[in-house]
Structure 1
Amino acid sequence: MTWHATVLTLFPEMFPGPLGLSLAGRARDEGLWNLDAHDIRAHGLGRHRNVDDTPFGGGAGMVMRPDVIADAIASHRPAGDPRPLVYLTPRGRLFTQADAERFAAGPGLMLLCGRYEGLDQRIIEASGAEEISVGDYVLSGGEPAALVLLDACLRLLPGVMGGAESAEEESFAGGLLEYPHYTRPAEWDGRPVPPVLLSGDHGAIRAWRRTQAEDATRLRRPDLWAAHLSRRISGRQSPQDMTGSVATASAGP
């Protein structure tokens, strides 16, 4: 089954954007996934296709109307559509690698991209949309966040990346950041490659990579390190934790 993404946005021309290039673009051409982006303004009201209004209670900015968003969702989400509905918002729960794996394992996604001050809360509740943020910062709209989320999911689809082992060793796959990488030349600008990587001792290399991953996680992401220690204490280590495979980054509101 083809993995299907639908995006509701005021700027459908932003899609597929970078997702139409490189491995994701090739996979799309091969039919492994597809995407349709629809203009929310097509469901706007009046001669000017208005999609927003001033907020009740006062305040700066405009709020996207619930009736307009509801019509857009109904027009592009058939009855019984099993795909999750995700609203990209800085108020949402932080997007994780586990979310990407969950979404990639399903039939696809419908993504809601807000603008202005965001959506009226009533349509968020009525639609059952999952509120997700790709990072602790604010963007001009949900479109860049949607591209980030989709990229994180698409690279996990069978046949897109082609290297299951590579995916297993990326940042976050085992709850740790990824170890550093080196390639030729063996010495550059007076900086040699760590000798263990040239030793041919695969056990020593795995141990070195494990230590590097743990050190990076402890120093750069104390939140991930605390969760990693908690799994150790509880005995709920993942297969990656046990073997020393660690995982590369995703990002993103």
Structure 2
Amino acid sequence: MSTIDEKYENLKDSIKSYGKLAIAFSGGVDSTFLLKVSKDVIGENVMAITAKSISFPEREHKESEDFCKDNGIEQIIVAVDQMSIPGFKNNPPDRCYLCKKVIFENIIATANSHGITAVAEGSNADDVTDYRPGMRAIEELKVNSPLKDAGLSKDEIRILSKRLGLPTWSKPSFACLATRFVYGEEITEEKIKMAGAAEELIFNLGFEQARCRVHGDMARIEVPEDDIEKLMASDVRRKIAGEIKKLGFSYVSMDMQGYRTGSMNEVLDLEEK
């Protein structure tokens, strides 16, 4: 089995082989690490392409811009109207596939217009174990996944990110706000903004990780198990419930299992997907 250092060297060799590379950059842990290593390996031959959409919070967008400016990396912003993607608003179980395909088609076209044929994204080795229909779009469009190919796990990427002094090494995982909706429920701009604002409220109260899952007019709040007691403190609980109701939700509940990735997938029979 390869060590973390061997995987790291394999990653750098892979990046070098592309010559020029465009990276789908969200500002998250994985894509930041991939972009930084690419900058170190191929210098000016790497470009960051960031898709901007309603489900991508402004806070995340600004962090991606700041990182590129601080590291002298060219970044191109591609605006994507998710609401116009056929099927997106209906929120079927393969919504992520429908959306990712359009986003990456735009990213590929942008890269090609700048003379770059190799496009990469930040999926890691752990992503193959979860239900991720978006991976099908990545495979169909032949987008490269260097971190996954190198066998790097999320934990290993965080370790290497810390070594490189990246501020994202301890950054909580983030996913597109469309993942907050129960499958089959219509996604609207209003409710996406409500979910995003609810999470921003919780972050501003000192929680590093949180999700606001949308079930009709009910907000189901997830925080890590270690933070549940903090969330349930009477003053915090009342403030969160009151402010989230002001956003337009009728009910506010807490998930007693705590935060976990892909909790909306728990209702799916993945054997059939």
Pair in the same fold by TM > 0.5: no
If asked which structure has higher relative contact order (CA below 8 Å, sep 6+), I would say 1
TM-score by length of 1: 0.30
Higher gyration radius (CA): 1
- Give the number of the structure whose residues are more often strand, by fraction: 1
- Give the number of the structure whose residues are more often helix, by fraction: 2
